[in-house]
Amino acid sequence: MSMRARKNLSIRTIKRESREGRRFTDLFLVLRKNLTTASTGRPYLRITLGDSSDSIEAFVWEGAAELDQRFSDGDIVEVRGALKVFQGTPQIVVESLHRLTDDDLAGLEAGDFLPASRRPRDEMWAELREILLAPANPFVRLLLDAFFVDPAFCEAFRRAPAATGFHHAYIGGLLEHTLGVVRLARAVAPLYADRIDADALLAGAFLHDAGKVQELSCRAGFDYTDAGRLVGHIVLGARLLREKAAQVPGFPEPLLLQLEHLILSHHGEKEWGAPTVPQTLEALLLHYLDNVDAKLCGAWEWMEKDRPGGNRWTTYWKGLGRQLFLPSLGAPEFGAGGPVAPDEDDIAAHFLRAEAQAAGDETARPGGQPKPRKPIPGQGDLGF
């Protein structure tokens, strides 16, 4: 590897800590580039650069047309440039840009250029496999095994993002999201054990987004494949289900239809991309569990992105169409640094006194003293 091919600063650090005009040399992933023309007729190159932390816009003003021919989307490039702030937004003015050679790439970590799940993928995969041993239905178990013995599927599933944005948009995101939905299904199913098919629900939780292994690409950031744009992960997932079910001798058609419905309806509404709406209890439950994990994790990711700024509110999040409240973790409003919590014995005594007072026991006042009686007019002398 060339001595210069090394990642030094993250884009997040460059944006937050670098002063305007600071020069630096670093490595970035080219997410996209566009050769265009300024109002003066002068060509310039606009490049979106990324790494595992963030993305930033970069501009080439000199020799743009020639440089445009030397690299492509998805390349790792070494950029020398200076930081500029335009209308409050950090940008890079590129002074030079070089595409890395194959020898340079051999010594680099992919995790430096694409965001990845914080939790180790091996750990998540092991937990998912363990949970999916639970189904009692032998056909469900054999179907799941047909996926797990497919090394190409497993590798793609472990690496794929769950989306290009909004939630779990990082390496291992599909695995993390699927595990989240599977865990929710396992937790909720016993509450409705007399009404739902828990094995079908668990299988549906695993399979609902399986088509994303063919829908999304990890090259040049996260983007859609041709199949992803033309067909989409819902139909691709239903195809995968039928392919694997065909490998299980005698797989029951009613069970296949039930599982297929879980995949096809999990988006919940046709205007949200579902070919059909949920029409079974398992499909209704899967839709809501999928929504819980996607929206909760998406909101958390947005909050974490904005939290270091020190604000009490995030910027506007399109995912839910709102800003989100950002109290500091451990702030007084969450108990830390606020009033001292009462002792558990004090709490119990308080409620016992309250119950006794409600029952009319006057000795249950603080201190154990009965409440003084008001004399009844005309009876004070009688000692009442």
| Whole-number pLDDT of residue 365 | 54
In this prediction, residues 74-85 reach a mean pLDDT of 91
Two tokens at 16? 């937050």
| DSSP state for residue 73 in the 8-state scheme | T
Q: How far apart are CA 223 and CA 237, in angstroms?
A: 18
| Whole-number pLDDT of residue 336 | 46
Residue 67 has pLDDT above 60, yes or no: yes
3-class secondary structure, 85: strand
Q: How far apart are CA 148 and CA 155, in angstroms?
A: 10
Helices (H), 61-135: 64-68, 102-106, 121-131
| Whole-number pLDDT of residue 118 | 83
| Whole-number pLDDT of residue 384 | 31
Q: How far apart are CA 220 and CA 2, in angstroms?
A: 22
| Whole-number pLDDT of residue 205 | 97
| Whole-number pLDDT of residue 382 | 36
pTM of the model: 0.72
| Whole-number pLDDT of residue 75 | 87
| Whole-number pLDDT of residue 192 | 96
Q: When comparing pLDDT for 376 and 313, which is higher?
A: 313
Q: When comparing pLDDT for 58 and 89, which is higher?
A: 58
| Whole-number pLDDT of residue 233 | 94
- Burial of 334 per CB tally in 10 Å (0-12, 13-18, 19+): exposed
Query: Which of 7-21, 204-218, 370-384 tops mean pLDDT?
Result: 204-218
Q: How far apart are CA 162 and CA 144, in angstroms?
A: 20
Q: How far apart are CA 293 and CA 313, in angstroms?
A: 22
Average pLDDT, the chain: 85
3-class secondary structure, 330: coil
User: What dotted CATH number matches 121-308?
Assistant: 1.10.3210
| Whole-number pLDDT of residue 367 | 55
Q: Which residue has the tokens 């819980």?
A: 292
| Whole-number pLDDT of residue 380 | 44
Phi and psi dihedrals of 60, rounded to 5? -115, 120
Q: Which range (39-53, 138-152, 226-240) has the least confidence?
A: 39-53
Q: How far apart are CA 259 and CA 205, in angstroms?
A: 10
Domain boundaries, the chain: 11-112, 121-308, 327-366
3-class secondary structure, 12: helix
Among 289, 273, 258, which Cα is nearest to 179's? 289
| Whole-number pLDDT of residue 138 | 97
- CATH architecture assignment, domain 11-112: Beta Barrel (2.40)
Tell me the C-alpha to C-alpha distance, in Å, between residue 247 and each of 250, 256, 262, 264, 367: 9, 12, 20, 21, 76
| Whole-number pLDDT of residue 366 | 54
In this prediction, residues 194-220 reach a mean pLDDT of 91
Q: When comparing pLDDT for 96 and 308, which is higher?
A: 96
Two tokens at 267? 């988006």
Q: Which residue has the tokens 């492509």?
A: 72
Two tokens at 70? 């030397």
Q: How much of the chain exceeds pLDDT 90, in percent?
A: 50
* pLDDT tens-place string over residues 100-146: 887 877 767 766 788 888 889 999 999 999 999 999 999 999 999 99
In this prediction, residues 270-274 reach a mean pLDDT of 90
| Whole-number pLDDT of residue 381 | 42
Q: Which residues of 128-162 are buried (b: 16+ CB within 10 A; e: fewer)?
A: beebbeebebebbbbbbebbbebeebbebbbbbbb
In this prediction, residues 244-259 reach a mean pLDDT of 98
* pLDDT tens-place string over residues 281-328: 999 999 999 999 999 988 888 888 777 667 789 888 888 899 999 876
Q: When comparing pLDDT for 109 and 161, which is higher?
A: 161
Residue 25 has pLDDT above 70, yes or no: yes
